[in-house]
Every structure is written in C-alpha cells, then in structure tokens.
Amino acid sequence: MARVCKVCGKKPVAGKTIVRHGIPKKKGGIGLHTTGITARVFMPNLQRVRVRQANGEVLHQRVCARCLRAGKITKA
C-alpha cells in the first residue's frame, strides 16, 4: 500500500540527518565539524479515513493531516 495522500499526492521525501560537534566561531570556538551523515526519510502524516465521494459512495482513503484540516474532503 503506497504512502501517498489521495488528495494532494504528498509522499515520503528522502533527506539526511547531519551531526555536528564543536563550538561555533561566533562563540569563540574553532567552528562546527560534521561528524556523521545518516540517510533518513520524512514521512507524510497520513490518516486512514472514510470519505464520501461525489456520487454518494463511501470508501476508505489515506489522506494527509493538512488536507483534512483544510476541509478538502467530506468525511462519511
């Protein structure tokens, strides 16, 4: 089952977690040094809700929280 919003098409996005150590030059140190980079995935906040279609049909869909708050769907 795909992790995609049925309304806006929002889906997982790849990114990185960057670990830095040291004291910034602004605070009197020698600067920040990158000590580790790890791949990660930013997941959309999907909710499985019952949605009423235009023709009156009711079915379950995965919708992101932003679309729910914006009222882009009609809950059954």
Q: What is the pLDDT of residues 58-75, one digit of tens each?
A: 999 999 999 999 999 999
pTM for this one?
A: 0.74
Phi, psi for 73 (deg, rounded to 5): -125, 165
Give the pLDDT confidence score for residue 1 in this predicted structure. 62
Tokens 């040094």 — which residue? 33
Give the pLDDT confidence score for residue 34 in this predicted structure. 96
Structural domain boundaries in the chain? 13-70
pLDDT band at 22 (very low <50, low <70, confident <90, very high): very high
Cβ–Cβ under 8 Å, residues 42 and 16: no
**pLDDT tens digits, one per residue of 25-48:** 999 999 999 999 999 999 999 999
